[in-house]
Structure 1
C-alpha cells in the first residue's frame, strides 16, 4: 500500500478457437443430473464439499466488490490537508477577524 496506484498485472486470456455449444450443454446437463442423483463422474456416490463451494462463492462475491480502500483514504487525507491549510492561513493572517467572534 502507498500513496500511488500500483500497476495491475497483465492477464493472459486465451479464448478457444473451436467450441461446440451442444457438446458443452450436454456435458453440463449430465453433470447436473449426476449431482441430483448423488453420483460422481465414475458412477459412485457423490458427497458434496460444502466448505469448498462456500469458499468459491465467497471469493467470487469478493472479487465483484468495488475497490474503495486507497481512493477513500487519499480523498480523506487531501481534505484534511486543505482544512489544515485554511486554518493555518486564518490563524496567521486573519487573527484579528477570528478574535472578533470571541
Structure 2
C-alpha cells in the first residue's frame, strides 16, 4: 500500500527488503502495527488518526536518506511495492488470543 520509489544514490527514499534486520525499523514498524491494531477498531476516525499521528510521523524517518536504511541498495520502480524479503519463520509469533 505504501508506494514510493526507493533506491540508493540520488533516490529520495530508502527501504530495505529485510527491514526486520534493522532494530530501529523493527521497533518503529512494531509501534505502527500496534497503533493500527488499536485504532482500526474506531470506525469513525481511527484510520485517519493512524495516518496523521503514526504513519505520517514514522515513515518519513524510516525512509529518510539518513534513516536506518541509509546504506540499503534495495530499489524498486515507480508504482511497484517496496522491496520485500520474508522474515525468518518464528520471528513474529501470532500474539492474537485464540
Normalising TM by the smaller chain, what interval?
under 0.3
Q: Which structure would you say has the larger Rg? A: 1
Higher helix share: 1
What TM-score results when the alignment is normalised by the length of structure 1?
0.22
TM-score (normalizing by structure 2): 0.23
Q: Larger relative contact order (C-alpha < 8 A, sep ≥ 6)? A: 2
